[in-house]
Amino acid sequence: MAAVRVEEVLAAAEEQEAEKRRSVTVEKELELEFDLGNLLALDRNPPPGAALRGAGPRREALLRALARDNTQLLVAQLWELPAERAGGAGGPLVARLPEPAFRLPREKPPPRPRPPTRWEQFARLKGIRRRKRTSLVWDEQAKEWRRRWGYRRAGGDPARAWLAEVPAGADPEEDQFGRLRREKRERVARNELNRLRNLARAHRAGTAAPAAPLHPTGHQSREELGHVARVARVSTASLGRFQPRLPKEPAEPPSRSGGRKRRFEPLLGNLAAERSRQLDLLRDMGSKKPVLDITRAVNKQLRQEEAEAAAAKGKKQSQRGKRGRRQQRPGRSSK
């Protein structure tokens, strides 16, 4: 009995060992490719296609097992890297990863080329090319090579500029040092302004919507066609002033803002001018209003009718009245 139990125990222990080893070793047909710098493991083994088709817990289990096996292999590779103790003797064991071999694609799109600045356009036009400047300049006074700009630059020592001559046509009372400082400040400000303008132009060029084509495509809306027609009208030598209009085309007054925005009078503008404009408008409106002919005519007609009706009634009344009075007189006199 004891021997059987011992054998059983030994067999069970061996089984356990084998299982442990099995959980650590992974059998693969093709070896995996590792890029430990990116912690990447590439498995080129063909997947079990039939089993993966169709959703379900079996598929999930298969995928999970695949992931577990590959991760096991990757971790095994990591354990083989040269490791050291970080932070002295008691620190954690840290593996030194090699350089990443796999080139990851860009996360964001590449930067667009920015539009040329005003100077760049001018230089290209004139054919001016950039001359390489030396970084060191010979300083005559100090008799040595000094850098062009920065710490201890050539000619930049403020103690050197102790004299500022009054130029020929200037006011003798003017502060020359102040003038030099002010001019420098203005130059710096102008430079900054131009830099910001260039930035704004580049930014605007980047976000501008693509212009609608001017040639006829089959897919233009009514507004686009109207815009195109307007552009075509203005594209003559006299800027569209003598272009004849189609029979039903309305005459458009030239808009100074180029059709972009409604412009209103300023809120607190010239109130007297506004008043006079309103009075002129009233005068125009008053003059164009036709005299109420229709109502007067209708009233006249009605009055005539009334008068006729009254006259006719009066005649009838008077006639009847005479007869009536004749007839009634005896009655009345009796009363």
Partner 1 sequence: MRPLTEAETRAVFEKLGRYIGENIQLLVDRPDGTYCFRLHRDRVYYLSEKLLKVAASVPRDSLVSLGTCFGKFTKTQKFRLSVTALDFLAPYAKYKVWVKPGSEQSFLYGNHVLKSGLGRITENTAQYQGVVVFSMADVPLGFGVAAKSTQECRKVDPMAIVVFHQADVGEYVRNEDTLT
132: left (phi over 0), alpha (psi -120 to 50) or beta: beta
Task: By CB under 8 A, tell whether 3 contacts partner 1.
Answer: no
Q: Could you say whether residue 211 binds partner 1 (CB under 8 A)?
A: no
Binding mask 242-281 for partner 1 (x = CB under 8 A): ----------------------xxxxxx-xx-xx--xx-x
Ramachandran class of 209: left when φ > 0, alpha when ψ lies in -120 to 50, beta otherwise: beta
One DSSP character per residue, 26-43 reads ---SSPPEEETTTTEEE-
Nearest 5°: the CA angle 292, 298, 301 is 135
User: Is residue 157 a contact residue for partner 1 (CB under 8 A)?
Assistant: no
Structure-block tokens of residue 220:
């233009």
Among 24, 166, 298, 310, binds partner 1 (CB under 8 A): 298
Q: Are strands 93-95 and 33-35 parallel, antiparallel or unpaired?
A: unpaired
Q: How far is the CB of 241 from partner 1 (least distance, A)?
A: 24
Question: Can you read off the two tokens belonging to residue 4?
Answer: 């059987």
Closest separation between CB of residue 200 and partner 1, Å? 28
Residue from the set 303, 315, 323, 325 that interacts with partner 1 by CB under 8 A: 303
Would you count residue 312 as binding partner 1 (CB under 8 A)?
no
Rounded Cα distance between 316 and 312, Å, is 6
94 φ/ψ sector (left φ>0, alpha ψ -120 to 50, else beta): beta
Q: Which of 94, 282, 307, 311 binds partner 1 (CB under 8 A)?
A: 282
CB of 270 to partner 1, least distance (A): 11
81 binds partner 1 (CB under 8 A): no
Question: Which residues of the chain form contacts with partner 1 (CB under 8 A)?
Answer: 264-269, 271-272, 274-275, 278-279, 281-282, 285-286, 292, 295, 298-299, 302-303, 306
